[in-house]
Amino acid sequence: MNYYDARETRDPLDRERELLARLPAQVAHAKAHAPAFSALLKDVDPATITTREALATLPVTRKSDLAELQKAARPFGGLAAVQWGAGCARVFASPGPIYEPEGARKDYWRLARAFYAAGFRSGDLVHNTFSYHFTPAGSMMETAAHALGCTVFPAGVGQTEQQVAAMQDLRPDAYAGTPSFLRIILDKADELGVKIDSLKKAFVSGEAFPPSQREALAARGIQAYQAYATADLGLIAFETAAREGMVLDEDVLLEIVRPGTGDPVAPGEVGEVVVTTFNPDYPLIRFGTGDLSAVLPGASPCGRTNVRIKGWLGRADQTTKVKGMFVHPGQVAAVLKRHPEIGRGRLVVDNPDHADRMTLHCEHAAPAQGLAEAVASSIRELTKLRGEVLFCAPGSLANDGKVIDDVRKYE
């Protein structure tokens, strides 16, 4: 079988209908069982959240806010629907610290689908070098491998010579970990004169995986695939044999929004990845990852019919400080909303003559007289700083998700 299940090749309209049909119950569940969502959604009737347009009216909860939310309400900021005990098998800590629950369900993080696309199968021995200490990465990989019927060697991080020795003795079929650590292990094996020829497949994540690294591993007979997952949401999207973008997981609802807002962008435009999960234990509704990406047109040549994204394209939080004051992407979005006749906009911050300057570049074919002054007034009112306005042709601003472009140079 080429696919993890039949859901991967179903009609996209059927998938969309199913996701939207599940949405009201998940919103109701979050509102009823997660205190933070009870407050955020207090005026929302879950039964009305049946379309993407309705979903877009709900507030975005951003990953960048989690540390403060959790400080105010331990352990999970009121966003989880579980407490200690049977509903929460493990708890992990990511840098911040940000605490994440892990439920007892099989393949809790839903990564088995991505492992299957990477060629992992029942009976494989997986050498797992993700950390089992504090962070959930090791458990994320192990639970996925177990769901497929694989055996796992919990190698963890470091101890390169011991990693080589274990691979030599146990002859694993597959590797899970960062691509750079796999390269370190293989280089150490070469240095020691040890032949590591059992590895045929790898699942890599946690850092950039450029084509040059993929090709270097392929030259050693190892086919490696990557995925996009977070400790909060689990699997978001995964690479397939087509090597054209990443295919969304079947159990997430994705939006791409303009950074600093909750407003969905046009198809193909770069923006912040916002995900709604159907996890009953951690029912994150419109969770802003802080990552930039964009939707790719069409379906994957591999035969999977779900939406594809380009993968990680940078960070959405472009907050910068100008003349001692913070300027946020949301403020730029608020200026543009006041003037709907403007298309896209980008605030460029530079420092000619060592003095900070803000210029809002606005797409407009034929700006009316007085529009520049009105926009400048909005900038001053909303940021408390002076800003210049420069009009440019529609479509001329780069589609890279940047709302604030800080190009200052310091000598």
Q: Are residue 303 and residue 381 in the same domain, yes or no?
A: no
Q: Are residue 274 and residue 371 in the same domain, yes or no?
A: no
What's the mean pLDDT in 264-291?
96
Q: Are residue 246 and residue 387 in the same domain, yes or no?
A: no
pLDDT tens-digit map of 191-225? 999 999 999 999 999 888 889 999 999 999 999 99
Q: Are residue 157 and residue 283 in the same domain, yes or no?
A: yes
The CATH number of the domain holding residue 372 is 3.30.300.30
Number of compact structural domains in the chain: 2
Q: Is the pLDDT assigned to residue 183 strictly greater than 70? A: yes
Q: Is the pLDDT assigned to residue 254 strictly greater than 80? A: yes
Residue where one domain finishes, among candidates 309, 339, 363:
309
Q: Is 315 inside a domain boundary?
A: no
Q: Are residue 273 and residue 354 in the same domain, yes or no?
A: no
Q: Which amino acid does the sequence have at 290?
A: G
Q: Is the pLDDT assigned to residue 411 strictly greater than 70? A: no
Q: Are residue 180 and residue 293 in the same domain, yes or no?
A: yes
Q: What is the DSSP letter of 218?
A: H
Q: Are residue 359 and residue 236 in the same domain, yes or no?
A: no
Q: Is 185 inside a domain boundary?
A: yes
Residue where one domain finishes, among candidates 309, 344, 359:
309
Torsion angles phi and psi, residue 220, rounded to 5? -95, 5
CB atoms under 10 Å from CB of 165, counted, come to 14
Q: Do 202 and 175 touch, CB atoms closer than 8 A?
A: yes
Q: Do 297 and 258 touch, CB atoms closer than 8 A?
A: no
Q: Is 67 inside a domain boundary?
A: yes
Q: Are residue 233 and residue 327 in the same domain, yes or no?
A: no
Q: Residue 1 — very low, low, confident or very high, per pLDDT cuts 50/70/90?
A: low
Q: Look at strands 295-296 and 308-309 and give their pairing.
A: antiparallel
Q: Is 280 inside a domain boundary?
A: yes
What does the CA dihedral 328, 331, 332, 333 come to, rounded to 10 degrees? 120
Cβ-Cβ contacts under 8 Å for 388 (sequence gap 6 or more): 357, 358, 359, 360, 376
Residue where one domain finishes, among candidates 261, 283, 309:
309
> Is the preceding omega at residue 75 within 30 degrees of 0, hence cis?
yes
Structural domain for 221, as ranges: 6-309
Q: Is 290 inside a domain boundary?
A: yes
What's the mean pLDDT in 104-130?
97
pLDDT tens-digit map of 311-336? 888 888 888 888 878 788 889 999 99
